[in-house]
Amino acid sequence: MKQYVIGRGVQSIVSLVALVVLVFFMARLTGSPADLYLPPDATADQVAQFNKLHGFDDPQIVQFGRFVAGFLQLDLGTSLQYSRPALEVVLTAFGTTLSLAAVAMPVILLLSILTGALAAWRPGGLFDRLASLISLISASTPNFWVAIVGVLVFAVTLRWLPTSGTGTPAHWVLPILVLALRPTGVMVQVVRTSMLEALSSAYVKSARAKGVRPSTIIFVHALRNALLPVVTVAADQAAGILNGAVIVEVVFGFPGVGKLMIDSVLLRDFAIIQAAVLVIGLAIFILNILVDIAYALIDPRIRHS
C-alpha cells in the first residue's frame, strides 16, 4: 500500500510540474502586460521601466528559474491587478470555489444515488424511463447554455433569483443548480448501471425471496456493493466541478478562482495565472490520490496490480 501511494504521488507530481511549465510559457505567448497596464501613449522608456520593474525584460528561461526559486519559498509572485501576493489572491478566490463545490457535491450525490437506485429497482418502468431520459439530457447539455437560460428564466423573466453576485443565499441557487446538473445526469446513469448488476446478484434474490423490504434491499444490501464504480466517477465529477466552475463563475459573476483566472488571462496577469493553475492542479491531484487510495482500500486487487 505504501509503494502504491508513493507511486501515485510521483506520477501526480510529474504531471503537475509539466502542467505548470506548459502554462508558464503559454501565458507569455499572449503578449506583453505593458500593452495593457500602461497608457497607449507610453514612451519606450516607460515600457522598458515597466518590464524591468516586473522582470519581463529577462529571457523567459531566466523568468522561469526565478519562478521556480520563488515557488520553493511559496512565493508565486505579485499580482499586477491587485498588487498583492498572487498566492494570497488565488487562495481567497479558491475558497469561494470550494464553497460552491462543497454545496454542489452533496446535492449531486443525493439526487443521483436516490434516482439511480430507484430507477434500477424496476428497469423499464415509467420512473426508470423518465429518469434515464432526464439524466441523458442533463448530462449532454453544456453548462454555459443552462446558465444563460437559467438567468433569462429565473432572474430576468420571473425575477425569483438574482442574476449575479454572492450577497445572499439566493445568489448561490442558480450557480449550484447549473454546476450540479451535468454531473448529476452522469452519476444517475452510473448508479443505475451499478445497481442493476448488484440487484441481479444471488444475495439480493435471496433477500427478495425471504421477503426483505425493498428499501432495505436497495439502500442496505445492494447499494453498498454498487458504490465502488460510483466512488471513482464521483471523484472525476468532483474534479469536473472545479473545471466547470470557470464557466458558472463567469456567467454569474461569482468571485471564485475560475473567474479570477479568466480575468487574469485577459489582463495578462501571469503571476495569478500560474498560481491559479498550480492551486487547481494541486487540488485535483490530491483529490485523485485520495480516491485512488480509497479505491485500493476497497478493492485489494487494484493495489496488487
Minimal CA–CA distance to 178: which of 82, 283, 254, 274? 254
d(CA 144, CA 141): 9
pLDDT attached to residue 121: 84
pLDDT digits (tens, 9 = 90+) for 109-167: 899 989 998 898 888 889 999 999 999 998 888 888 888 898 899 888 988 988 877 77
d(CA 35, CA 198): 61
Provide the terminal-to-terminal Cα distance of the chain, rounded to the nearest Å: 11
User: What cell was used for 261?
Assistant: 483566472
pLDDT attached to residue 300: 60
pLDDT attached to residue 127: 92
What is the residue whose three cell numbers read 441481479? 200
Residue type at 201 in one-letter notation: S
pLDDT attached to residue 92: 92
User: What cell was used for 47?
Assistant: 515600457
Minimal CA–CA distance to 87: which of 107, 105, 67? 67
Minimal CA–CA distance to 144: which of 251, 296, 14, 12? 251
pLDDT attached to residue 250: 84
d(CA 205, CA 190): 22
pLDDT attached to residue 87: 92
Residue type at 166 in one-letter notation: T
Distance of CA 290 to the CA centre of its chain: 15
d(CA 233, CA 238): 9
Residue type at 25 in one-letter notation: F
What is the residue whose three cell numbers read 509539466? 18
C-alpha distances out from residue 161 to 152, 167, 173, 280, Å = 10, 12, 8, 29
pLDDT attached to residue 1: 63
Distance of CA 149 to the CA centre of its chain: 22
Cα torsion 74, 78, 79, 84: sign: positive
Q: Which residues of the chain have pLDDT under 70?
A: 1-2, 4-5, 295-305
pLDDT attached to residue 88: 93
- Give me the residues paired with residue 78 across strands: 85
What is the residue whose three cell numbers read 428564466? 153
- For residue 3, the SS3 value is helix
User: What cell was used for 12?
Assistant: 501526480
pLDDT digits (tens, 9 = 90+) for 57-69: 889 899 999 988 9
d(CA 230, CA 253): 32
Provide φ and ψ at 57, rounded to 5°. -85, -10
d(CA 305, CA 299): 11
pLDDT attached to residue 126: 92
Q: Does the reported pTM lie above 0.85?
A: no
3-state secondary structure 50-71: HHHHHCCCCCHHHHHHHHHHHH
